[in-house]
Amino acid sequence: MENPHFNINRRRFMKGATALTLLSQFGAYGMDLIYRDKPWKVALIGTGWYGTMDLWRLIQVAPVEVKALCDVDRRMLEAAAAELARRQPAAKPARLYKDYRKLLAENELDIVLIATPDHWHALTAIEAIKSGCNVYLQKPISVDVLEGEAILATARKYGKTVQIGTQRRSTPHLQDAKEKIVDAGLLGKIGHVELCCYYHMRANGNPPVQEVPEFLDYEMWTGPAPLRPYDGLPHKRWWRTFMEYGNGIMGDMCVHMLDTVRWLLDLEWPNRISSEGGIYVQKEGKSTISDTQSAVFEYDDFNCVWQHRSWGTPADPEYPWSFKIYGEKGTLAGSTMQWDFYPQGDGPRLHEDVLYEREKYPEDVNEADIELNAVPATRRHMLNFLAAIEAGTLPFSDIKQGHISSASCILANLSMKLGGRPLTYDSASRNIAGDPEAQALLKRAYREGWQHPYETL
């Protein structure tokens, strides 16, 4: 089916008016993308909120044949299939699966999108790569550090492109901030970075234990993670409140802001990571993730300091989920919605708002639960992913970068668990030297019947 936003000759490199048209929409993101004379063969594993948002964005910017969809919730799977049929009425219906392994075995695919809960990321990504697919994987890439190492090692071994859904690197207004403020030297010498999230996003109820509904395979949903008593649909964000399945607000929200600052300032692994926090206020429910947490990511010349609270008021109401980079010449504050540059002394304050694309993509406006501020970045992230596949280059959010950001947040959680003591992780040896207790926590135990992927490297 011809995509109205990509009505171009796919048998040639972009040139002339075609290049100008594409670049006017997406900047330089598609510069090295070769357009094929056949669609990308795609599957989605995890057909919930963000999985379908990712798939609809890919369909908007490239010729796509969706071969298969996979989910352990039959109702959610069927809803995604119905919406896909509405969006691509002339296309052959996608095959529907409950088990990702069967999907991968029975379909020849170019790309797999993965948007499962975090505890499934490693196994699904590694199996997809081994089956010959390029992967678009949601963040954080793993629940433990060595899962991330296993995904990275597998991607490199099989030569597959893996783009992580840390799409701030493809966010238009933040790319402008990098060019106009950071790279232009307006900050001067940088001495401190602050990161934060003050959203009240910690589910903390006390639902009763219930019968598992017939449309949900709860055993398969749980997979390698601990099997909690069933107390309601876990994938309606309920799973995010349990450390059994993810990395709390640290892994959900800090990973984005830490990754953004690492990209803006060209940072790799922190030298040392420490964290303190716990459940200080919201003690009444079942949640096992922290409601209050601070962390310090130490670099050579400055520290990146994180703070989250899922209660109370934000320190800066204009920037409740954000980063602030402090330089001798000024300060850059940024978020998914805007950025501001505050110069030291004389000089103009600079500001830019998020880019919306309602006019170009009117279907966005009626999409249920869509993050309108995020989808322009996701479209560009998808284009960059496709360009990297074709050119054999690393995408903006390559698996290595996704691993560094994810693992750094995981290590912060481990530090908090160990009473706040600093941890230094050596990625070359995959070791925390001199701390056997912390070293043992780099790999979590899998439930009986599942094998941790690091054990098979």
* pLDDT of 398 above 50: yes
Are 42 and 111 in contact by the 8 Å Cβ rule? The answer is: yes
Asked if residue 32 has pLDDT above 50, the reply is no
Q: What is the CATH number of the domain that holds 97?
A: 3.40.50.720
DSSP 3-state assignment of 330?
strand
Closest CA to 8 of 31, 37, 28, 32: 37
pLDDT at 24 over 70: no
What pLDDT is attached to residue 37?
Answer: 79
> 384, 376 in Cβ contact below 8 A?
no
pTM of the model: 0.93
Element (H, E) at 390: helix 375-391
DSSP assignments along 241-275, one per residue: G-TTTS-HHIIIIIHHHHHHHHHHHT--S-SEEEE
pLDDT at 364 over 70: yes
The answer as to whether 31 is a domain residue is yes
Task: Write the pLDDT tens digit of every residue in 257-269.
Answer: 999 999 999 999 9
414 and 272 together in one domain? yes
pLDDT value at residue 242? 98
70 and 146 housed in the same domain: yes
Predicted confidence (pLDDT) at residue 223 exceeds the cutoff of 60: yes
- Number of Cβ within 10 Å of residue 264's Cβ equals 24
What does the radius of gyration of the chain's CA atoms come to, in whole angstroms?
22
127 and 240 share one domain:
no
**pLDDT tens digit sequence for 424-455:** 999 999 999 999 999 999 999 999 999 999 99
Instruction: Determine how many CB atoms are found less than 10 A away from the CB of residue 35.
Output: 19
Does the residue 368 lie in any domain?
no
DSSP annotation of 44 reads: E
Q: How confident is the model at residue 14 (pLDDT cuts 50, 70, 90)?
A: very low
In a domain, 427, yes or no: yes
Within-domain flag for 8: yes
pLDDT tens sequence across 243-254: 999 999 999 999
299 and 379 housed in the same domain = no
* Same domain for 261 and 328: yes
Q: What is the pLDDT of residue 220?
A: 98
Query: Are 186 and 143 found together in one domain?
Result: no
| C-alpha–C-alpha distance, residues 428 and 163, integer Å | 22
pLDDT at 10: 34
- Residues 417, 348, single domain; the answer is yes
Q: What is the CATH number of the domain that holds 213?
A: 3.30.360.10
Q: Is residue 369 part of a domain?
A: no
Report which DSSP code applies to 82. H
- 385 and 286 together in one domain: no
Do 179 and 327 fall within a single domain? yes
What pLDDT digit, counting tens, does each position of 156-194 carry? 999 999 999 999 999 999 999 999 999 999 999 999 999
pLDDT recorded at residue 21: 38
Q: What is the average per-residue pLDDT within 271-295?
A: 98
Q: Name beta bridge partners: 292.
A: 278, 309
Note whether residue 12 is domain-resident.
yes
Higher-confidence residue of 36 and 133: namely: 133
**Number of structural domains in the chain:** 2
163 lies in the same domain as 288: no
Kindly tell me if the per-residue pLDDT of 7 is higher than 80. no
218 and 112 share a domain?
Answer: no
Task: Please give the average per-residue pLDDT across 208-221, as a whole number.
Answer: 98
**Residue 264 amino acid letter:** L
Residue 5 has pLDDT above 80, yes or no: no
Given a cut of 50, whether residue 30 has pLDDT beyond it is no
pLDDT, one tens digit per residue, over 69-103 is 999 999 999 999 999 999 999 999 999 999 999 99
State both tokens at 368: 């249920």
Q: Does pLDDT of 356 surpass 90?
A: yes
pLDDT score, position 236: 82
Strands of the sheet containing 272-278, edge to edge, are 272-278, 292-298, 303-309, 190-197, 321-327, 330-334, 338-343, 350-353
Instruction: Give the pairing type, strands 40-45 and 111-114.
Output: parallel
Q: Looking at the domain assignment, is residue 442 inside a domain? A: yes
Q: Does residue 31 surpass a pLDDT of 90?
A: no
Q: Cβ distance 408 to 389 under 8 Å?
A: no
In this structure, the answer to whether residues 278 and 425 fall within a common structural domain is: yes
Residue 9 clears pLDDT 90, i.e. is over it: no
Q: What is the pLDDT of residue 20?
A: 35
Segments forming the whole domain that contains residue 221: 171-361+402-456
Torsion of CA 84, 88, 89, 93, to 10 degrees: -60
Q: Write down the mean pLDDT value for the chain.
A: 93
Q: Is residue 314 part of a domain?
A: yes
Q: How far, in Å, CA of 205 to CA of 241, rounded?
A: 10
